[in-house]
Each structure stands twice: as structure tokens, then as C-alpha cells.
Amino acid sequence: MITIYEYKSAELKPQTGQPRITEQAVWIDLLNPTQAEEAKVEKALKLDVPTREEQQEIEVSSRLYQENGAHFMTATALYLSDQAEAKTTPISFILAGNRLITVRYAEPRAFTIFAARCNRSEPDLKSGSAVLIGLIETIIDRLADFIERIQGEVDALSHSIFEIKGGVASRQRRFDVLLRAIGREGEVASKARESAHSLGRLLTFLAHAANERKEDKLLQARIRTAARDVNSLTDHATFLSGKIIFLLDATLGMINIQQNDIIKIFSVAAVVFLPPTLLASIYGMNFHHMPELNWMLGYPIALILMVLAAVLPYIYFKRKGWL
């Protein structure tokens, strides 16, 4: 689908009817474009629109480059799918003269928010560069919202991990839930870091491109501000990733402690009942020449010895603090 925004009467508004690339066209948005739509744009603007496969390439030279006077930039954006699952998608931005072409195969909410802004009077959106930096600022705001949400959920996980109560069975179930939650947050945090890193590289390239294109000083200042914002988000996402790793290690450590407690109980039980078992084995032997078998008090004395053999090790372990 092609959506073309034109700048007329100090407003940037979408075209109605059949899309036409006119002189007033400032922003051409390609959402899930067909081959015919790509060919139409390529023929009108004399440039090669990146394919979906080319957008997936991870080399910097394949994502940020200049060709035939146009600047091609591809970044990874974080968005929520229809199933409320955090996903990433590559988005290509092409600055060709006074026009911006965006190529995307998903619908991040940042585009919807920015398009709503375009429906109002926005005199600063009269060039493709202005639209581009406005889009990037909106994407950064959405990324910041994602990271803030991750921060809140990680803090809640931290309280849950270190304040677990209840019996062993209850704690075991909680550990299972916590491990899955930590895994989900770790995945989202890694995607947020990926998005922030790609946006940072794009803004560095855009700053050089803006300097070459002799863009307005205010626009270049906005690019530098956006770059600083992305750097701070990258640092915060890195911090959250480290905290998630700490929570994972803490959870695994608590699981190990719980398992060690179980093994300790079995070990102590085996040690406590070993001496009585030895005594019972001795007096259970069927030898004729065992003096104790003829004693009147032989049986109660054997029972007392077995009780003492079990109690004394328990008292010793208790004094040592092993129990």
C-alpha cells in the first residue's frame, strides 16, 4: 500500500484517491508494497527501493549507504504485534532530494502517532528531512516507553524473587513462573537494545548526511539531541539486561539452595539412622555364641543403644549448626 503525504498550505496531509507522486509529495510511505508499487516508485524517483530480504541484512554497509544522490538508512524498530507480543522489524528510510520514502512490512504505533500529527498544522514538516527526524523522534519516544515498561516489570520481578514465601511445593511453582517471566523480559530487553543500537547508527549516518545536504541548523540540532536520547536509552537497556541476568542468576541460586536443602535432609537422615541400623544388624545375626542373646535385659538395652545412636549424631549436628 502506498500513502503519499503532500505539503500544501503549511500542512502535511495524505493524498486522497489514487496515489500520485507529485511535486508537492514530501513523504511516500510504502507499507507491505507489492512489486508493482515498488516499480512505480522506482520509476518515478529513479532509485532502487530495498527489498524485504535486503532490509534483513545486518552489515552496516548494506543498511547505511548513499546511492545516486539518495541516502538509504535502515533501522530496527520495536513494536507490539496484534498478539501484544514485542517484536522487531526493519524499516528503511530513503532521503531523495526533498522527499522521504519509508519502506516497512509492519505497523509500529509510532507511524500511526506521527501520521496523526501530520493531520494537524505542522509547518516544520515541509521537507523529507524534517519528516524523517520527526518520525525518528516518535520511534525513540515509543522505544523509551517500552524500556520504561521493562523497568517496571523487572522491578516487580525483583520483589517477587526475593520475597518468595510458602512451602517447598509453592516455591517450586513460583520459581517456574519466575524463570519464564525473566526469559520474556530478557528477550524484550535484548530487542530494545538491538533497536537502540540500530537507531544510534542511523542517527550518526544521518548527521553526516544532513551536513552534506546543508540542512537547517535547527534540524541538525534535533538530530544531535535524538542521538543523545538514543545513547541514554542504549545505556539504560544495557543496565536492564545486566539486572535481568542478575535476577536469573539469583533465581537459579535460590533453586540450587532449595535442592541442597532437600539433599541435606536425605544425607542427615541417612547418617542419623546408620548407627541404629548397624546395631540392629549386629544383633540380628544368627550366631550361637552371642552372650547378649541370653541376657534378660539384652533386648531393651539394644533398643536403648539404637535410640542413643540416632539421637547423639542429631545433637552433634545441631550443635555444629549443620541443621
Report the pLDDT value the prediction gives residue 122, as an integer from 0 to 100: 54
pLDDT value, residue 144: 92
Residue where one domain finishes, among candidates 231, 257, 283 = 257
Q: What angle do CA 118, 210, 116 make, to 5 degrees?
A: 10
DSSP 257-282: HHHHHHHHHHHHHHHHHHHHHHHHHH
- Indicate whether 244 and 263 sit together in one domain: no
pLDDT for the residue 116: 81
Instruction: Judge whether 2 and 37 are in contact, CB under 8 Å.
Output: yes
Which own/partner pairs from 169-178 qualify as long-range (CB within 8 Å, at least 24 positions apart)?
171/258, 172/258, 175/251, 175/254, 175/255, 175/258, 178/251
Please tell me whether residues 144 and 281 are part of one structural domain: no
Domain final residue, candidates 236, 257, 278 = 257
Q: In the predicted model, is pLDDT for residue 291 greater than 60?
A: yes
253 shares a domain with 124:
yes
Do residue 306 and residue 240 come from a single domain? no
Residue 15 backbone dihedrals phi, psi, to 5 degrees: -70, 155
Residues 120-146, mean pLDDT to the nearest whole number: 82
**Nearest CA among 217, 144, 156 for reference residue 185:** 156
Which grid cell is 248? 536469573
Say yes or no: 200 and 57 in one domain.
yes
Last residue of a domain, one of 208, 236, 257: 257
75 plus 178 within the same structural domain: yes
Clarify whether residues 200 and 52 are in a common domain.
yes
Do 311 and 173 lie in one domain? The reply is no
Residues 182, 273: one domain? no
The per-residue DSSP string of 18-86 comes to S----TTEEEEEEES--HHHHHHHHHHHTSPPPPHHHHT---HHHHEEEETTEEEEEEEEEEE-TTS-E
Q: What is the CATH number of the domain that holds 280?
A: 1.20.58.340
Q: What is the pLDDT of residue 227?
A: 92
CATH of the domain at 71: 3.30.460.20
Tell me the mean pLDDT in the region 247-274. 80
- Whether residues 177 and 288 share a domain: the answer is no
87 and 182 in a single domain? The answer is yes
What range defines the domain where residue 217 resides? 2-257
pLDDT digits (tens, 9 = 90+) for 77-91: 888 876 668 888 899
Beta carbons of 118 and 14 less than 8 angstroms apart: yes
Query: Domain total for the chain?
Result: 2
- Asked if residue 199 and residue 106 are part of one domain, the reply reads yes
- Quick one: average pLDDT of 227-247? 91
At residue 224, the pLDDT reads: 92
The pLDDT tens digits for 186-215 are 888 898 998 999 999 999 999 998 888 888
In whole angstroms, give the CA distance from residue 47 to residue 60.
20
